[in-house]
Amino acid sequence: MNPEEAQHKIKLLTEQLNAHNHRYYVLASPSISDFDFDQMLRELEELESLFPEFSSPNSPTKRVGGDITKKFETVIHEYPMLSLSNTYSREEIVEWVGRLEKFGLENLSLVCELKYDGVAVGLRYEKGALVRAVTRGDGEKGEDITSNVRTIRSVSLQLTNDFPEKFEIRGEIFMPIAAFKELNEQRASDGEEPFANPRNTAAGTLKLQDSSLVAKRGLDTFLYGVYQEKGAFHDHMEAIRAAGSWGFKIPPESLGYINVVHDIDGVMDFINYWDQHRYDLPFEIDGIVIKVNAYEDQKRIGFTSKSPRWATAFKFKTQQAESTLLSIDYQVGRTGSITPVANLSPVSLGGTTVRRASLHNEDQILKLDLHISDTVLVEKGGEIIPKIVGVNRVKRSHGAQPIVFIENCPECGAKLLREEGLSNHFCPNASACPPQVAGRLIHFVSRKAMNIEGLGDETINVLVKENMLKFPCDFYTLNRSELLRVDRMAEKSVNKLLAAIDESKNIPFERVLFALGIRHVGETVAKRITQHTGSLAKLMQFTKEELLEIEEIGDKIADSILHFFRDDENKMWIEKLIDVGLQFESKGKDKDSDVLSGLTLVVSGVFDAYSRDEIKELIERNGGKNSGSVSSKTDFLVAGEGMGPAKLKKAKDLGVKILNELEFQKLIGNEK
């Protein structure tokens, strides 16, 4: 394919993929299968790698992320992002509408919108292309998070219809409840602390330095404010509808997320409806925003020094209720982490009946000074699981006993441990504690690990009770006759299961390492480790200092890895997994050269022609070794824009040769 043909094909695929993406994530009306979409995306990726001069910053391939941002640039807003005045009082909303009427508005027209509990963002478009995404910040200036926002599927990267030459559109980035639950389930599976609520998680996600991690978090957005030099619209609602026609995901009128009303009764109907139905939404809201619709009326009403007079927000009160603390259960997770859960007398909260609430850990119990039979205040706010936020000590009965955190595992009786610097207790009896045994096996066969279909939680629990499973290596000794004797295991399902177990021997090393269930070693960390070590044999020989050189590994993860591989029982069943033929070594990639053979390089900063991961791959393809930190063993520091000054200083102090992107390309003979 010549360059002209490639350019045409890249343009065509980009347009088609953008259209399919819009239909799927904005219109919720896909027209092709996920498989066909992925095939088209893969074809575009291959063409862009062969002809990088035709790759756009807004290519659909950017949706998967990969850019590294060491420092988020501060940007001054062209149009200040003012905050709204807000109230919890319906009476004050009535007074606010009354004040509007004093401005002599001919026809009162107000837009009521949901107040999304997320992160405010402004998106700048020029000639239909996204050029910059900036957070609210302090209202005058915010941070450039463009690389991360490009990964959000519902954000249009290239508009297709009749849009203005230059404009900004504002809205809210949020984490859907389903995505938040899935993320916390994954963190629990990895032995990590769950995140507190969707809003904070969305904010933290947008500040991640690796955009490929942002792409996996499932963020979403609604956009609802158009700003441009010359106004082409008469009112706010007209502008929002136009933005929808340009390709943006706007709040749907059909679902009642936004509505035009003409009096205080209409405002109150909107507020009251969503106060009752907010928990039915697939995302969190914390109130309602009311705006004067007509732009001329907005100008007439004006601003205070901090906020517009023509808009206000009504905030819902966090739903709370009193209940009686009946008892505490202690749950044992897959990695042995102990989570206390409060059993409560039933209470209605947020449209559901609450009987249990999370207490997180011993510190939370001590902070609340909880006693059995206490009257407690239960809250269902931004969190998915209700929590206890206070105690009514006036109602505490005489002689009530304070809750003392358990010392032994409730499942196996082992003495609990609490590592220094961590908030959770854990049971160290991994090989005999029933929830840990079953949890480790369930994790091992899960989709992102060994992906062995036909082994649900119930089946694994049955096989554990039948003494057919204890360690992951036992999956590979299961035989047909034994399985056929298990209740509800027919010949067809047994054949499929054995075939899936055999097929799992081809799962790559990074997923096998994740499947082992090492505490704090999640999917991404496992990938970083395998990229750095190349094999399990090398990993097991690493010292703590060598582990800390790997990107994303700190003291907690390093100590967990060392502890795991020191355990004789773990080494026993891992040896058996090696014997049955699992992949414990990264398959060697084709080398471009040996020009970097024997050399150790550190990559830092942001680059023009490559992502940081691409540069690391080039180092490996040319025989070199990647390291996460500068030391006396470092031969070269490949320095991009915005790299950390401490790393740069250390390299200079140690006399490490520093290469810019072009010098690195020349070194390996690969000038783009």
**Residues identified as active-site:** 115
344 and 315 in contact (C-beta within 8 Å)? Answer: no
Taking the C-alpha atoms of residue 388 and residue 654, their distance in angstroms, rounded to an integer, is 53
In a 13 Å sphere around the CA of 230, the CA atoms on its Cβ side amount to 3
H-type alpha helices, 247-392: 264-277, 295-301, 362-368
H-type alpha helices, 31-176: 34-50, 90-101, 146-149
Q: Which helix (H) or strand (E) holds 360?
A: none
> Mapping DSSP to helix (H, G, I), strand (E, B) and coil, where does residue 633 land?
coil
Q: At what angle do helices 3-25 and 34-50 cross, to 10 degrees?
A: 150
**Residue entry with tokens 């994790």:** 443
> Nearest-CA neighbor of 619 among 566, 665, 568?
665
HEC string for 438-469: HHHHHHHHCCCCCCCCCCCHHHHHHHHHCCCC
The residues near 66 (Cβ < 8 Å, ≥ 6 apart) are 210, 211, 212, 611, 613, 614
Pairing of strands 220-227, 166-174: antiparallel
**Residue entry with tokens 């000054």:** 645
Q: Based on the number of CB atoms within 10 Å of its own CB, is 35 exposed (0-12), middle (13-18) or buried (19 or more)?
A: exposed
220 and 173 in contact (C-beta within 8 Å)? Answer: yes
Q: Based on the number of CB atoms within 10 Å of its own CB, is 402 exposed (0-12), middle (13-18) or buried (19 or more)?
A: exposed
217 and 205 in contact (C-beta within 8 Å)? Answer: yes
117 and 146 in contact (C-beta within 8 Å)? Answer: no
Taking the C-alpha atoms of residue 102 and residue 95, their distance in angstroms, rounded to an integer, is 11
> Mapping DSSP to helix (H, G, I), strand (E, B) and coil, where does residue 627 land?
strand
228 and 164 in contact (C-beta within 8 Å)? Answer: yes
618 and 639 in contact (C-beta within 8 Å)? Answer: no
In a 13 Å sphere around the CA of 81, the CA atoms on its Cβ side amount to 25
Sign of CA dihedral 282, 284, 286, 292: negative
Kindly state the tokens that stand for 520.
């704090």
The residues near 149 (Cβ < 8 Å, ≥ 6 apart) are 121, 123, 130, 133, 155, 173, 206
